[in-house]
């Protein structure tokens, strides 16, 4: 989904916005304080390595926000079941 200026998030968890279709957008600060956005579309929510990739890529240090945002996005996208990998092996 392409987010337009008129659309509002269904919820905001820290730097993470959850949109009604389940899209997650993280407004994060990289090295040097430069802000960038990370978009995770609903079709990626069921990827077993998604949370592991977010951790490995250092896209979120605030797990108290990304975890509830992730589960709300899953609920809004209609995801009923997940397999989550906890290691890259």
pLDDT digits (tens, 9 = 90+) for 19-67: 999 999 998 877 777 888 889 999 999 999 998 888 777 766 788 999 9
Answer yes or no: is pLDDT of 5 > 70: no
Q: Answer yes or no: is 68 within a domain.
A: yes
14: confidence class by pLDDT, cuts 50, 70, 90: very high
How far apart are the two ends of the chain, measured CA to CA in Å? 32
Six-digit token string for 81: 């079941």
Among candidates 9, 60, 7, which has minimal Cα distance to 38?
60
Q: Residue 3's pLDDT is what?
A: 57
The total domain count for the chain is 1
Q: Answer yes or no: is 67 within a domain.
A: yes
Q: Exposure of 66 by Cβ count < 10 A (0-12 exposed, 13-18 middle, 19+ buried)? A: buried
| pTM for this entry | 0.84
Q: Residue 60's pLDDT is what?
A: 67
Q: Answer yes or no: is 43 within a domain.
A: yes
Answer yes or no: is pLDDT of 70 > 60: yes
How far is residue 43's CA from residue 49's CA, in Å, rounded to a whole number? 13
Q: Residue 42's pLDDT is what?
A: 97
Q: Answer yes or no: is 1 within a domain.
A: no
Task: At 56, give phi and psi (nearest 5°).
Answer: -65, -35
**Domain, as residue range, for 29:** 11-77
């Amino acid at each position: 989904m392409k987010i337009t200026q008129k659309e509002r998030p269904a919820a905001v968890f820290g730097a993470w916005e959850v949109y009604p279709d389940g899209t997650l957008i993280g407004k994060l600060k990289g090295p040097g304080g430069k802000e960038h956005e990370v978009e995770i579309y609903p079709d990626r929510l069921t990827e077993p390595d998604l949370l592991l990739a977010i951790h490995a890529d250092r896209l979120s240090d605030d797990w108290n926000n990304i975890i509830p945002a992730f589960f709300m996005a899953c609920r809004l996208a209609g995801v009923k079941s997940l397999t989550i990998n906890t290691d890259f092996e």
